Amino acid sequence: MTTPQPAPEMPAWITWPIRAIALIVVFPFRLLWELAVLVKRFVLVPVGRALGWLMRTFLLAPLLWLVRQILQWVLLPIWHALRWTAAALVTGVAWVLRMLLRHLLRPVAMAVVAVLVLLGRWVLLPVGRFVYNWVLAPLGRGCAWLLIALYRWVLTPLGQAIVWASQASYRWILRPAGLAVVWLIRAIGLGIGWTALAAYRWILRPIGLAVAWSVLATYRWILRPIGLAIGWASRVIYRFVLRPIGIAVAFTWRYTFGALFRGIAVTGRWLRDEILRPAGTVVRAALGLRR
């Protein structure tokens, strides 16, 4: 490993202006910073602590004592008085309601129930029995007889007629019509199938064979020879034209522009190592900077 070379001494014409600028610009700001630190340590911090003690002693403590006394001697007695008043009011209302229920509402309700029971036993029950025996029962028997007669002499013959009509319609109309439709569809399907088979056999298949033969002949006698000719021409052009041109271009680049670019790169590295880097070292040493 090579030992690092000591930084060269800065000339006086660079050192003294830098020191003068530092004395004029940096030193006043440093003094102001130290003065601010002293003011904070010996003025602001003690004053803040004293103000905090004064606020706790003469403001917060009396205020908390006043709030505690108001809660204890004003709000708490008012709360107890309101709670006792509400409890007494609820108790009185409950006693009044209980007395009303026991001495007024319950006897009235028992009397109403007794009247309703007596009314149902001696009025409603006989009336209901009479209505059932002489009105509802005859009416129900009449409705039942009417329904039975309607079912026997109207609905049953009508249903039998509908069943006979349905069977006759199926046997003499729907079944022959269905057989005719099936025969017609079968005939149409056979005709379509025969037409499709004939079209395939005498039209589509010959056309397909002709198209396939045309495609095969085109590929065999036109496209394949053209492709072979293009491939042969491409190989000849590459071998006898493009490759010699590429070799000539590479040779020209290597011994003209390539050599020029390599010379420029060598010159740039020499400038960096022999001029710019030492000059940067001198400037950093003059400004008091370190890497």
Alpha helices per DSSP H over the chain: 12-21, 27-39, 45-55, 61-70, 76-100, 106-119, 125-131, 137-150, 156-169, 175-199, 205-218, 224-237, 243-255, 257-271, 277-287
> Do 10 and 286 contact (CB within 8 A), yes or no?
yes
Q: Is the pLDDT of residue 154 over 60?
A: yes
Q: Is the pLDDT of residue 290 over 60?
A: no
Exposed / middle / buried, residue 14 (Cβ in 10 Å: 0-12, 13-18, 19+): middle
Gap between the Cα atoms of 45 and 34, Å rounded:
16
Tens digit of pLDDT for each residue in 170-192?
Answer: 888 878 888 888 888 888 888 88
> Do 287 and 17 contact (CB within 8 A), yes or no?
no
Confidence at residue 15, expressed as pLDDT on a 0 to 100 scale: 65
- The reported pTM is 0.28
